[in-house]
Chain A
Amino acid sequence: MISEKAAGIAAQCRHYAMCKIDFLGTGLCPPGEDNHYVSYYPQGRMDLYDALAKGLIPVTERLVDIANTCTLCGICDKQCHFVTELRPMVVMRALKDHVGSHIAENKKIVQIEEDDILKQFKKVVGEKNATNDPAILVTYSNDPAPMAKIQMPQYVVLPSGREEVKNIISVCNQFKIPFAVRGNGSSVFGIVMSEGVVLDMGRNKEISMDKDNWKINIGAGVSAFDLQIEADKNGFRVNSAEPSALICSNIMCSGILSTFSNSYGTGADNYVDAEFVSNQGEAFNLNDKKGPNLFGFDKQGSPSPGICTGASIKLQPVTEDEEGLGIPFSSFDEAATFCRDLSRRRIGISIALLGGEYISTFISPTSDMAEKVKTLFIETLGISFLVVVIGDKYAIETIKKMAPITINDKLFRLMMLSLPQMVAGEWIEMLGELETNRNLYELFCKEEMYPLLETVLNPSPEAIGSVVPEDLRDFYTQLYSRPEMTNLAWLSTFRILSSRMGRFKHVVAFIGYAPLDKIEVIKKMIGEFKRIGDKYNLKHDYGFLTPVDLGKRAILEYDFYIDHTNPAEIQQMLRAMGEAGPMVGEMSMNTKGIQWINTILFQGFSRKENFLYR
C-alpha cells in the first residue's frame, strides 16, 4: 500500500543533497555513508518511494536491502527540515512498511540478471560498486531541473580514483555506451542523466593537506562542506560553493562562485592543479604542457573535456580576528555602489549583496517565518538589501567608518534568536508606527539600542526553536545554542543556510557575471528578469551579487521558483527560460562584462580574465 501523504512528500525532494553531508553535526545517514549510492541516502529513498507510487519500479533485491538498512534514526528529518521544512521520516517509514508487507505477503522480489557489461564494470570497481538494479537506476533517472526528462540509465557505477574512471570509460567506449557524470545532487541544466551509464563520483572522499604548498588535494567525491571543514580544522579556508556540491563536479560545471570570490577570485584562481580522464579514456593533468588548454575560454560554449577525478585546491589564510558585518540599504544602487567601493579598496574578504528574499529565507527556520521576516525587513525596517561582509578587524573598523549603520555579529545573533518576537508583537508594531523620515533600521541597528532590544526581544535559542514543530524544538534549541549557527563569518564560509532558498519551491537560478562598473546595466538585467517572471506568473526575486576582480565585475544571481511536480509551472518556466536566455545573450553581445553560466558550462577551469574581459 502506498501512502498518499508519504508519496506527496517524496515527490517534493529537491535533490539538494544536503542529506549527503553532515552539516548539522547530527552524523550522516548510516546506510548512505556505507553504500555510497544516492539510493541509500534519504534523497534516493524519497525518489524510490515516488517511483513506487508511480509504478515505475518493482520490488527488487536492492530495494529490499535499501528499505532494510534504514535504521529509522531520524537524522534525515532534522537535516531536511532545516533546509526544506519537509519531514522525510514519513517516507522512510512508509518505504519500510511497503517493502515489509510485500515480503510478508510473499510477493515476488525481482532479481536482475547481470550482463557482460556489468561484469566488466564490476571487475573495475568491485562487486558493490556497479549495478543494473532498477532500485538504484531510478534514483539516477530524474532531476528537478525544468528541462530534465526522465532517463533511466542501464547501469550506475561508483568509480573511485583516476584509474578506475579510466577503465570504466574504456568499457563504455568499447561497448559504445553513453555516459553521464554526476556529483552530489541536481544540476542547473539537468545534464546528469544518461540512457547508458551514470558515473556517481561520490565514492572517492580522499583529502590530504599540503600546507607547505598552500593547497589541499581532494578526490572527486569530496563535498564543499567536507573540504571546508578540513581546511578550517587546519586554520585555512578554501573558496567553495554550495556545501553539498562535490568540488570537482562543481569546477567542471561552472567553476567555483562564492561570496569569497571577491578576494579569492573565480575560475582558474582557485586551483593549483587537477587531474582528468578524457572522454576517450586518457589521463591528463590541468598543468600538463601538452594537455588540453582548459585555461582558455570559448564564448560559444565548450563540450566537456572529460571527467575531473581529483584537484588541488588553493588554501587561503585566515586571521583570528575575522568578523561579519551587515550593512543595510533601502536602495540597490547604493548597496551595489558600496560593494564596488569596498572591493576596489580591497576592504573585506567575502562580500555579498543580498536581497530581502534571501536574507529572510536564510535566517528563518520555516517558510512561514521567512514571509514575516521579509515583510519586517523590507516594509517595517526598510532593509531591502543587505551587504554582508566578512573581514578582519581592520576591515570591520573601516567599514564602520564608511557606513554609519551596521549589523554586527552581536546584533545579528540577537535578531536571529528573537525572530518570533521580532516579526510580531507590540514592540515591532509600535516601532512601525513611529513617524520618521529615516529608514527604521537606522534607529533599530544603532549600538545604543542593543540593551533595549535585548530587553524587549528576549533572544534565546528556545525562542527560535519555538517556531518549528514540537518534536523538533529541542533539537533546534540545541542547534541554535551553538555559537557558529549565528555567526556571520562561519555561516558565510560554510553556507549551510543558502540551500533554504529552495524551501518554498525548487529554484531555477540564473547565474552569471555582470559589469559592476555599470550598475545601470545590472539593474536593467534585474528589471528584465523581473518582467519575465511577472509575465509567466512565476515567483521570482533578485538573489545576490558579489564583486569580482576588485569590483570591476560581479557575480549576479536572479532566481525563479517552480513547483517541479506541477507540469503547468514547468511549462511556464520553460517559456520564461526561452525568453530570458536570448535576453541575456543579446545583452552580453552588446555589453562587455556579461557572461552567463550556460556559456561557462564545462569551462570552470578557465582564467577569469578570459571570460570577464572579452
Chain B
Amino acid sequence: MKLSRKEILGLRKKKEAVFLITGATGFIGSHTAIKLLKRGYRVIMFSRPNRGATAGERIKAMFEWFELDTDEFGANLEIIEGFLDKPDLGISKKTYSYLLNTVDEIIHCAANTSFSEKKRGELETVNIGILKNLSSLINSENSRCYFFHHISTVYVAGKQKNIFEETLINTPEFNNVYEETKYRGEQFISEVFPQSGVRVNIYRSSIVYGDSENGRSTLFNAVYYPVKMALFLKNTYRNDILKKGGEKAKQMGVRLDEDGSIFLPIRMGNKSGGTINLIPINYYTDAFIAILEYSVDPGIFHIINNSDTTLDDLTGFFSKSFNIKGFRSVSGEELKEEPLNALEILFSEYLKMYEPYIRDIRRFDNKRSEKILSKSNIKCPEFDLDIFSRCMNYAISVNWKNPWK
C-alpha cells in the first residue's frame, strides 16, 4: 500500500487530504462534494462544460441551489474543467501534473445510469472507459493518489437470486447494460488499481431518491417517472372532461368520480413477490462519509434500506397523494383478456425496464456497512406516504427538471 492506515487517518484528520470528485455536478457527486466541503475537506470538483456553460458556471449555479456560495469554501474548493472520456482527461499537461501531485483520494461518482441497450456505447464509455483513463492517472509513478472510492450499485448482482454479500461477486447474466457495465467497472478497478498500491473502496447503493427531509432533488427518474407520467395523463384527461366534453376520456375509459378522483384504467401484471429498495440522498451521503472516514482498509459496502417498499405501497401512496384511482394488479390471464390500451402500453414499457428493481427478489447483505453506520447512529428512513408526497411535490414544484440547470 502506498500509505499506511495511520498516515491516511492523519491526513484526513488534519483535513489535508485532497479529494477529487468525478461527476461533480451529478446527483450523487454534487451532494457528496458539498458534504465533504462542509466537513472541512479540500475538494477538487471535476466537471465538463455543458450547453455553453463552463464547469465553473455550472458548479456556481449548483451551489446556489444548495443555498451556498462557492466562495464560502475558499481554497478548499477547486474546480477543474475537463472530459473524463478523453485519455488525457481533456485537461492541459500542467493541470494533469497538478492532479498527479495534489490528489490524495478520488471519489468516482461519474456514471451513466441509463438501462437502455441503445445507449450501450455511451454506457461502456462512461462506466468502464473512464476508469481506464483514471487508471492512467492513478498508476502514474508520480501520482500521490492512495485511495479510490468507487460509487457502484448493488445491482451488479445481475439476474442472480441469492443473498449478496459485500464482496466481489461473479455475475454471469444481467438485467440490462447498466448492471453489466457497472459490474465490469468493478472488475476492472479491483484488478488494476491495487497493483499500484492504491486502496479501493466500493460503495454499492440501491435506488437513490431525493432528500427525505425536504424532498429536494435534482434527478427525477426511476421512481419519479411513472408518477410524472400518471399526473400528466390525469391532467390531460381532466382537461378533456372539464373543458372539452370528455369524449376522448370516455373513449379511453377514463372518468372523473364524484369524490373528485380521476380513474385511469391501468392494469398491471401481478407477478408475485418482490419489493423495491429506496434510499434518500441525505441518508446516502451520511452513510458514504461515515464509511469513508471509518474504513481505511479496502472493502465493499452496501448502502441500502433495511425496510423495503412494495409496488402496492407505491400505488397506494400515489393514489392517496394525487387522488388517482384505477391502477390495479391483475393476473397474467386477465391481462391477456383485452389488448393493452395506450395508457397500459406506456406503463408496461416502463415496468419492463424497472421490473427487476420494483419487484426485486434479490436480497443484499449489509452487515459490514451496518456495523459502521449503527455506531454513528445513521439510519435509513422507511419510504412512507409522507416522504413520497414530499418528494413528489418538490418534483412538481420544479416541473420535474433539475432546478439549477
Residues of A within 8 A of B (CB): 382, 426-427, 430, 433-439, 443, 446, 448-456
Contacts and interface: CB of A to CB of B under 8 A. Distances in A.
Interface in B102-130: 114-118
B117 A437 contact: yes
10 contacts: A434-B346, A434-B349, A434-B350, A437-B118, A443-B345, A448-B341, A448-B342, A452-B342, A452-B343, A455-B249
B252 A455 contact: yes
B98 to A, nearest CB: 36
Given A443-B349, A448-B340, A452-B343, A430 B228 contact: yes
Contacts, number: 62
Contacts of B115: 435, 437
A451 B353 CA distance: 24
Contacts of B346: 434, 443, 452
Interface stretch (B60-68, B191-199, B229-237, B289-297): B229-237
B39 interface: no
B296 to A, nearest CB: 38
Contact of A433 (B225, B252, B345): B225
Contact of A439 (B114, B118, B249, B339): B118
A454 B237 CA distance: 12
Pairs of residues from A and B, 3 with the lowest C-beta to C-beta distance, nearest first: A452-B342, A455-B248, A435-B353
A128 B114 CA distance: 71
Contact of B353 (A427, A436, A456): A436
A446 to B, nearest CB: 6
B221 interface: yes
Contact of B229 (A430, A449, A454): A430
Nearest to B224: A433
B50 interface: no
**Residue among B118, B232, B353 with the highest chain A CB neighbour number at 10 A:** B118
A454 B350 contact: no
A448 B114 contact: no
B251 interface: yes
Nearest to B339: A448
B345 A446 contact: yes
B393 to A, nearest CB: 17
Interface of B: 114-118, 176, 221, 225, 228-229, 232, 236-237, 240, 248-249, 251-252, 339-343, 345-346, 349-350, 352-354
B232 A427 contact: yes
Given A435-B354, A448-B340, A452-B252, 4 more contacts: A427-B232, A434-B225, A437-B117, A437-B118
A457 to B, nearest CB: 10
Contacts of A436: 116, 349, 352-353
Contacts of A439: 118
A363 B146 CA distance: 59
A455 B236 contact: yes
B225 A454 contact: no
A391 to B, nearest CB: 26
Contacts of B228: 430
A443 B225 CA distance: 17
Contact of B345 (A426, A449, A456): A449
A435 B345 contact: no
Contacts of A448: 339-342, 345
**Residue among A449, A451, A452 with the highest chain B CB neighbour number at 10 A:** A452
Contacts of B114: 435
Contacts of B240: 455
Given A452-B252, A452-B342, A426 B350 contact: no
Nearest to B229: A430
A427 B354 CA distance: 20
B124 to A, nearest CB: 16
Contacts of B232: 426-427, 430
Contacts of B341: 448
A450 to B, nearest CB: 8
A449 B116 contact: no
A451 B118 contact: no
Contacts of B345: 443, 446, 448-449
Contacts of B340: 448
A455 B247 CA distance: 10
A438 B117 CA distance: 8
B401 to A, nearest CB: 9
A435 B115 CA distance: 6
A498 B188 CA distance: 53
A455 B250 CA distance: 11
Contacts of B354: 435
Nearest to A446: B345
Given A430-B229, A452-B252, A435 B350 contact: yes
B236 A456 contact: yes
Contact of B252 (A430, A437, A451): A451
Nearest to B221: A433
Contacts of A453: 342
Contacts of B221: 433, 435
Contacts of B225: 433-435
Contacts of A382: 118
B353 A449 contact: no
B403 to A, nearest CB: 16
A425 to B, nearest CB: 10
Nearest to B343: A452
A456 B176 CA distance: 31
A380 to B, nearest CB: 12
Nearest to B349: A436
Contacts of A438: 349
A451 B232 CA distance: 15
A97 B232 CA distance: 55
B337 to A, nearest CB: 15
A346 to B, nearest CB: 33
A416 to B, nearest CB: 19
A449 B350 contact: no
A453 B343 CA distance: 11
A239 B315 CA distance: 58
A257 B236 CA distance: 46
B229 A437 contact: no
A343 to B, nearest CB: 29
A451 B251 contact: yes
